[in-house]
Structures are given as C-alpha cells and as structure tokens.
Amino acid sequence: MSDTRCRRCLLRELEAGAQLYESVRAYRAELPAAERTEDGEYARRLALCLDCRHLKNATCVQCGCFVELRAAKSAVRCPMGRW
C-alpha cells in the first residue's frame, strides 16, 4: 500500500491544513510592518524549508512550529540556521 501523505509540504498544500493556512495568512497580514517578513524574504524562507529534511507535513520537526508561521516574523530564525 502506498503512503500518499505529504512529507515536505506547507499548510497551503495540505487539504487538511486549509483552515490553518488561512489563519496563518490572517496573522501575517495583521503583523506590524516592522515585525512582518517582507514578501520576497518570506518566499525565500519557505523555499528553503521545502528543501529541508526536517520539514514534515508543514511542521519543522526540530522546533515543532508550522514553518509558514515561523517564517512570517522577521526577527525569528530557523532552528537549523538556514535563514
């Protein structure tokens, strides 16, 4: 039997994560500009997460966060030092 669950994906790609993804989008939109990661940097961070072996089902297994949430704040860093 094949395993069709997503391994290296983000909330926006998980059918079961749609509601959480919308919450993350709303959270990011409401962050003050000084705290919010700029769009280009946010996309860069998420691209690095997608390529990381510690990403499992939209979660970083090193810290337990949803990577889309962690990447949203400019002052927060990757626990693996990737960004």
Range of the domain at 62: 11-70
pTM of the model as a whole: 0.86
Residue 1 has pLDDT above 60, yes or no: no
Q: What is the pLDDT of residues 9-40, one digit of tens each?
A: 888 888 777 888 899 999 999 999 999 999 99
Inside any domain, residue 52: yes
Q: Is 38 domain-assigned?
A: yes
Query: What is the average pLDDT score of the chain?
Result: 89
DSSP string, the chain: ----S-SS--GGG-GGGHHHHHHHHHHHHHS-TTTBPPHHHHHHHHHHHHT-TTEETTEETTT--BHHHHTTBTT---TTS--
Q: Is residue 45 part of a domain?
A: yes
**pLDDT (mean) for 51-55:** 94
Q: What is the number of structural domains in the chain?
A: 1
| Residue 31, domain member (yes or no) | yes
